[in-house]
Structure 1
Amino acid sequence: MALSGMGSAGNVNPNKSYEVTPAPNDSVSSLSFSPKANYLVATSWDNQVLCSTWKDDGSTVFTGGCDKIVKMWPLLSGGQPTQVAAHDAPVKEVAWIEQMNLLVTGSWDKTLRYWDLRQAQPVHTQQLPERCYALTVRYPLMVVGTADRNLIVYNLQTPQTEFKRIVSPLKYQTRCVAAFPDQQGFLVGSIEGRVGVHHLDDAQQGKNFTFKCHREGTDIYSVNSLNFHPVHHTFATAGSDGAFNFWDKDSKQRLKAMARCCHPIPCSTFNNDGSIFAYAVCYDWSKGAENHNPATAKTYIYLHSPQEAEVKGKPRVTTGRK
C-alpha cells in the first residue's frame, strides 16, 4: 500500500485524509484493521466479498460473501486461503470470538453458525427470524440485526438461547450495530439517517434515545457504519451523504462534523489504538444500479488521524448556561 496526502478532484477528499493506493476496482464492502498492527483489509464487490474480520492474534483474516462460503487467509505465513465455513445463502457478517476460539457467521439464509476451525461442520447453528443484516460482538455480548428490524441479543456464555429480542427503536431497515465497549448496550443505525442508543438493563431504559444524523434539509441518508473509539469510547458514524462524524453518547453531543465527500461512505473502522480512522468513499448502491456509472465510478480508501478534541468525550452539560 502506498500513502498519499493528495486530494482528488470533485471534493472526494475534502478532509485532506491520506489516500491508500491502489484501491479496489469496485465499491468497498468492508474495512477491518488487524488487532495487533496497522494492517488494513478491504473487501470489495469486485469479487463479491461482503465482510471480513481478523483473528485476535493478527495472523489470519476471514472473509465471507456471495459465494456462500467463508475463507481463511493466513496472511503472515503467506499460505493459500482455505474454506472454513459455509451457508445456504450469501454470508453477510463474520466475527472471531477470541474467548471461545470460534468463528461466528451470519447469513441471508436466516442462521448464525459457530465454527471450530478444526471441524468441517458448525458446532452450533442458531436460527434467526430473518436474514442477518448486521452483527457486533463484544464478549460476552453479541447483537444481531435482522431484516425484519429485530435486534437479537445473545449472552455468548449461553449462545444456544436468545438473551433478549428487541424491535429496533428505529422505524426503518437496520444497516449497522455496535456493542458498547462496556457490554451494557449497543448502537443501531438505519437507512433513515438515525441512530438508536439502547441499554440492556431494564433499569437503564430511561437512558435510551435516538438522534438524527446524515441528513441535509429534506434529504435523508443511510447510516452505513458505527465504530467505537477503542480508547475514549466515543463513536463515529459514516453515511451515504459522504460524511463521517464523531459523537459522545454519554453527554449526547456531536464532537466533530467532518466535511462531506462527494460520494457515499459505505464502511469505516478504527485501528487498534484509535489513532487512525479508515473509511471508504465510493458508490454504495443505495440509489440502485441505474445510478451507477462504471465508466466514471471510482473507489477511494482514506486514513484520517483523529485529533483528541474530535474523539475525547466532553463533560455532561448540567445547566443551560455556558
Structure 2
Amino acid sequence: MATTDFEVNPAPNDGVSGLAFSSQADILACSSWDNQIRIYQVQANGQTVPQAAYSHQGPALDVAWSKDGTKVVSCGADKAGRMYDVATGQSTQVAAHDDTIRSIRFLEQQPHVMVTGGWDKSLKYWDTRAPSSTPISTASLPERLYSMDTRQNLLVAATANRHVLVFDLNNPTVPYKQSFSPLRWQTRTVSCFTDGSGYALGSIEGRVAIQYIQDADKDRGFLFKSNREEGSNTIHSCNQVSFHPTNPATFTTCGSDGVVVFWNRELKRRNNALPKVNGTISNTCFNGTGTIFAYAVSYDWHQGAKLHNPNTPPRILLHPVSTNDLTPQPK
C-alpha cells in the first residue's frame, strides 16, 4: 500500500466480495463472505466511521447504490436481493432467484429499477417502488452469470463458458448482441465504459479485453496482459476493472498479483501502479468524484484452499487519487 493510503476499520471478518461508493457522498458499502453488508462514512481526513450494517442469510456476493444515494442493494448465496434504506435504517428483501444471485445493479436511465443476475441462468428486473416477489421482466442466459455491469442504456452479462451478452435496455429481455469472450479462459469480471459505448472483460489468465459496441468502432478494441509479473511465467487472475467517473479514458485493473495498475484506454498505455501488497486484491471502486480509490486486499481463491491463510484477515484501503494515477507514462 502507498504511504498516503488509509485503512478502513473495522474490516469484514471474511473475504470481500464487492465494493461500491455512493455517487452522492463519500460513503462506501462493502459486501462480504461473512454474510454482512457494511457501510462506512469516509471523513475529509481519510478516516472512516462505521455507519450501518445488515445481514444476508448466506455469503453476500455483490453490492450497489441507487443513483440518488438513498438506497443500497445487495445479493448473495441465500438467493435473495435485499435493499437498505439509508433514511430509515431498515433492510427488506426485494428480489429472489432459484439459485445464488451473483450480481445486482440499479439502472441509470430508470433509477427505480434494479436488475439481478444469478446462477439460475437468468436476469430479472425489479421495480423497487413496489416490492414484489414477481419481477417486472426476465431475460434468459445461456449459462450461470459470473459478472454483470450497466451504464446508460447498456447492460453486459458475462456467464460461464465465456458467453457475453450485450443488452440495449430499451429492449431489456432480448440480447442486442451475443458472442464469446475474445479471451481464451474463464471470465472473471465485466465493467462498462462510463458513456455506455463499450466494456472491459477481465479473465482468470490475467488478460483484459477492451470492446466497443458499435461495429464502426470495433477496430478500436484490443487485448492486453494486465496481471503478469515481469520475468515470471506465473499467471494471475484479473479480478476487477474500474473506470474513473470523470476521466473516462482512465481505468484500473487489479488481481491476485497484489497490484493495482492505472491505465489509459485511448492511448493504450499504462499510467501508474500502486505498491504491491502482501496478498490478493479482490475488488476496487472509485468514489463519485474520482478523488478516492478503494481496494480490498482479500484472498480471491485463485489457488483454492491450499493458499488460504485464515490468520491474514481482509483489509480495505482508501487511496487518494493523484495526478500520476491519471497521467499516461511516456512511451
TM-score by length of 2: 0.88
Give, in whole Å, the separation in 2 of the partners of 1:15 and 1:171: 37
The total of aligned residue pairs comes to 302
How many Å apart are 1:257 and its aligned residue? 1.7
Instruction: Look up the match of 1:267.
Output: 283
Aligned partners of 1:16 and 1:37: how far apart in 2?
A: 21
Give matches, 1:12-27, under 5 Å.
Answer: 13-14=1-2, 16-27=4-15
Secondary structure at the aligned position of 2:217 is classed as helix
Alignment root-mean-square deviation, CA = 1.4
How far 1:56 sits from its partner (Å)? 1.1
Residues 188-203 of structure 1: pairs in structure 2 closer than 5 A: 188-203=201-216
Work out whether 1:228 is the aligned partner of 2:228: no
CA distance in 2, matches of 1:220, 1:173: 13
Which residue identity lines up with residue 283 of structure 2 in the other structure?
C
Structure 2 residues without counterparts, runs of 5 or longer: 36-58
Aligned-residue sequence identity (percent) comes to: 43
- Give 2:117's aligned amino acid: G
* Correspondence for 1:6: none
Deviations along 1:218-244, one digit per CA (max 9) or x if unpaired, are 111011011110111110111111110
Q: Secondary structure at the match of 2:325?
A: helix
- Report the secondary structure of 1:227's partner residue: strand
Q: Which residue of 1 aligns with 2:19?
A: 31
Partner of 1:53: 64
1:297 CA displacement: 2.1
Mapped pair 1:303 → 2:303? no
- With the length of structure 1 as denominator, give the TM-score of the two structures: 0.91
Question: Superposition pairs for residues 76-95 of structure 1, below 5 Å?
Answer: 76-78=87-89, 80-95=90-105
Deviation (angstroms), 1:178: 1.2
**What are the within-5 Å matches in structure 2 for residues 1-322 of structure 1?**
13-14=1-2, 16-47=4-35, 48-78=59-89, 80-100=90-110, 101-117=112-128, 118=130, 119-216=132-229, 217-233=232-248, 234-294=250-310, 296-312=311-327
* Distance (whole Å) between structure 2 residues aligned to residue 292 and residue 138 of structure 1: 35
Shift of 1:312: 4.2
Deviates more, 1:158-167 or 1:64-73: 158-167
**2:123 partner amino acid:** L
Q: Deviations over 1:76-109 (max 9, x none)?
A: 322x211000001111000001422211000011
Deviation readout 1:123-173 (Å, 9 max, x if unpaired)? 111100001111110120111101111110000011121100121110001
Structure-2 separation of matches of 1:293 and 1:308: 36
Match of 2:54 in 1: none
Q: Is the 8 A contact 2:152 2:195 kept in 1?
A: no
Contact 2:96 2:133 survives alignment (8 Å): no
Please state whether the residue corresponding to 1:266 is helix, strand or coil. strand
**Aligned residues of 1:232 and 1:312 also touching (Cα < 8 A):** no
CA distance in 1 between partners of 2:261 and 2:123 (Å): 31
